[in-house]
Structure 1
Amino acid sequence: MDKNKTYHLLIIRLSAMGDIAMTVPVLLHLTNTYPELKITVLTKDFFKPIFSEIPNISIYGADVKEKHKGIFGLWKLYRELKLLHIDAVADLHNVLRSNILKFFFWFSGTPFQKIDKGRKEKKVLTSGEPNFFRPLKTTHQRYAEVFKSLNFPIRLQENFTLPKQEIAVRLPDLSCPKTQKWIGIAPFAAFSGKTYPYKLMQEVVDKLNASGNYQILLFGGGNHEKQLLEAWEEKFVNCVSVVGKMSFTQELSIISNLNIMLSMDSGNAHLAANYGVPVVTLWGVTHPYAGFAPFGQPADNALLADREKFPLIPTSIYGNKVPDGYKDVMKTILADDVVQKVIEVIH
């Protein structure tokens, strides 16, 4: 790197939200270690608020469904990015789209490094063989390795988090300023294999609500989840659903002020961890050994399904593969144990 010029690094990470949120602690380390580095993150415009508190970072929105769709759309995107005078590219996604962009950048002589997702290791981890049940590199470490290969080595430390934000929205049922400790609960995930049973989570909400010591804020997305969470909002006096009531930026401001987040193996766990919020996670057919645990959280904050009864766990990396007889793995995580862990961590 020429120290007499401003070095411009392009980072590619288009989806999903959890994986994008996991870039934040790594980018915090990167910008702190190399404050002179100029960074552009290529992602979807919706995710821009995730990066708003990181210095020296700008977002370039990729419209992969219309303007930048297909190979010709990616060529158009490459031509747009070239106008930014990119010096090197860090591909934290490593999918077909980013590999096509890699070819374009390679042709122009721009250094390009991509993440090693460890697909072979993860396939072995999910094979069910007991000899291969061991922790893999975390996704955060894999991201950091890409920057090291571009001559920007960083040392990941747990004390790098985003600052708490000023609450950007006022809800009628939400006590601001806070008169109770705030518990965020994100009870859903992309796949049923890593979603805690609705009735058991309702039992958790019931017991936390009954104490009268906590304000419970419910997070989710989509009409179906909205209806389910609004039913809890009506049923429990200290419960507020935020779904459909605020922008993503406003939702992040709420998350940053939580005292604890209870989440599945999903994006909300990572969003909360980015602000240094204690996170309790529930794991079904997935497992923290695959490398997707939220950054900086104690290992015992992860409540796991019983591997003695279900020895094939993890059956998949993303929770989309549930073998016969494994539908109810999360029922081995008792509601009382969840409540006890939340209360233990929050106090």
Structure 2
Amino acid sequence: MARILVIRFSALGDVAMTVPVIHSLATQYPQHEIIILSRGMMQPLFQRLPSNVRFINADLSGKHKGIRGLNRLYNELKAMRFDYVADLHNVLRSRYLRYRFLLSGVSVAAICKGRLGKKQLIRRRHKVLVMQKTSFQRYADVFSALVCPVRLDFTSIYGAGKGDFSQIASVVQPKGTDKWIGIAPFAKHRGKIYPIELQEQVVAHFAANPTVKVFLFGGGKEEQEVFDRWTKKYPSVTSLIGKLNLSTELNLMSHLDVMLSMDSANMHLASLVGIPVVSVWGATHPYAGFMGWKQQPDHTVQLDLSCRPCSVYGQKPCFRGDYACLMQITPRQVIEKIERIIS
């Protein structure tokens, strides 16, 4: 039996991508104890994993803030006597903890992020359009190098089933024969967001169908304003802002027929519950290795432009200034992808 510390602090989508790997590891090696170290808000992602998986909150804004806080966190972790440390983040904080463990004689390994291949993928000229290793495989490689190989055989956090509907019955009515579509229209960076006025045309199309129910996923003031406007114009559309926490949001997602998402965390959350995702890609590209778990390439919506991809994470401003990679996607292209799945 070995005790393995797994470090991944952020972001939500990246932490969600660890779940298929850790679930696979835990089921294939039940004799090992796996401890996830992450921010407390991430805990619901791991609640339905095997019993040999535990979660520890890294309070990086409180008692574990700064170098003094990291030293406190290290001392708390050291008392747990880990055999291995898997750094799936490889940033300053995780490196500091990793090196402290290394100096104390613990075996450590860290993710290789493949920066060179990604840089060649997004450079302006002479792009090398080659599929990079997925984050799932990069995470699995850490465990293979550290302690044991992992066969990635995860399906869903609910196995072959769905979430317990009674936990969300106060928010939604029973599904019946309707088709349920989730729409997550936002992302962290503009280079990932399909224009809201075009997305509204997608919403309006499905809101007009009495056999379809549309749920809006998101959070924040800007998103609240957009969702309020849409739900007022389209009464059959339901905004979930403020109605669910991460755990119950995953539950509801498991009952969807399809999710429409940007290259964002909601793509990964829906993937964890085995739901097909129609994903819209602008400045970023699936070749960077961030496609949702077991999502199909033909469910993506993207344009073949010589300038894309121009960014790994979507944060770079469009050097053309027109965001053609998103503006030139028609609502009909998105609608047809969704209809192909729900039909």
TM range (shorter): over 0.9
Aligned positions, number? 337
Measured after TM superposition, the shift of residue 259 of structure 1 is 1.1
Matched, 1:20 2:11: no
> Aligned equivalents of 1:171 and 1:313: distance in 2?
44
Measured after TM superposition, the shift of residue 178 of structure 1 is 3.7
Match of 1:247 in 2: 245
Name which of structure 1's ranges 189-198 and 237-246 shifts more when overlaid on structure 2: 237-246
Matched, 1:9 2:4: yes
Match of 1:142 in 2: 138
Match of 1:89 in 2: 85
Matched, 1:327 2:330: no
| Deviation per residue, 1:13-35 (Å, 9 max, x gap) | 10000001111111121112112
CA separation of 1:335/1:30 partners in 2, compared to 1, >3 Å: closer, same or farther?
A: same
> Aligned equivalents of 2:256 and 2:86: distance in 1?
32
> Aligned equivalents of 1:288 and 1:69: distance in 2?
34
Name which of structure 1's ranges 74-83 and 241-250 shifts more when overlaid on structure 2: 241-250
> Aligned equivalents of 2:81 and 2:256: distance in 1?
40
Q: Is residue 120–residue 127 contact of structure 2 (8 Å, CA) maintained in 1? A: no
Structure 2 residue identity aligned to 1:63 = D
| Deviation per residue, 1:229-258 (Å, 9 max, x gap) | 122112113210001112222212111211
Q: Is residue 28–residue 161 contact of structure 1 (8 Å, CA) maintained in 2? A: no
Measured after TM superposition, the shift of residue 85 of structure 1 is 1.8
Q: Is residue 13–residue 42 contact of structure 1 (8 Å, CA) maintained in 2? A: yes
Aligned partner of residue 252 in structure 1, secondary structure: helix
Aligned partner of residue 9 in structure 2, secondary structure: coil
| Deviation per residue, 1:75-128 (Å, 9 max, x gap) | 100101112221101100000000110121011111110000111211111113
Q: Is residue 283–residue 309 contact of structure 2 (8 Å, CA) maintained in 1? A: yes
Compute the TM-score of the two structures, normalised by the length of structure 2: 0.95
Match of 2:173 in 1: 175
Q: Which structure 2 residues correspond to residues 41-190 of structure 1 after superposition, within 5 A?
A: 41-55=36-50, 56-130=52-126, 132-157=128-153, 160-163=155-158, 164-167=162-165, 168-171=167-170, 174-190=172-188
Q: Is residue 302–residue 325 contact of structure 2 (8 Å, CA) maintained in 1? A: no
Structure 1 residue identity aligned to 2:14 = D
Measured after TM superposition, the shift of residue 202 of structure 1 is 0.2
Measured after TM superposition, the shift of residue 130 of structure 1 is 3.8
Q: Is residue 194–residue 326 contact of structure 2 (8 Å, CA) maintained in 1? A: yes
Q: Is residue 28–residue 160 contact of structure 1 (8 Å, CA) maintained in 2? A: no
Measured after TM superposition, the shift of residue 160 of structure 1 is 2.4
Match of 2:229 in 1: 231
CA RMSD of aligned residues (A): 1.4
Structure 1 residue identity aligned to 2:96 = I
Compute the TM-score of the two structures, normalised by the length of structure 1: 0.94
Match of 1:265 in 2: 263
Q: 4+ runs of 1 displaced by more than 6 Å?
A: none
Match of 1:30 among 2, 25, 31: 25
Query: 5+ residue gaps in structure 2?
Result: none
Aligned partner of residue 55 in structure 2, secondary structure: strand
Match of 1:208 in 2: 206
| Deviation per residue, 1:51-87 (Å, 9 max, x gap) | 1111121110001112111111111001011122211
Structure 1 residue identity aligned to 2:169 = R
Match of 1:3 in 2: none
> Aligned equivalents of 2:122 and 2:109: distance in 1?
27
Name which of structure 1's ranges 178-187 and 276-285 shifts more when overlaid on structure 2: 178-187
Aligned partner of residue 181 in structure 2, secondary structure: strand
Query: 5+ residue gaps in structure 1?
Result: 1-5
Q: Is residue 305–residue 333 contact of structure 1 (8 Å, CA) maintained in 2? A: yes
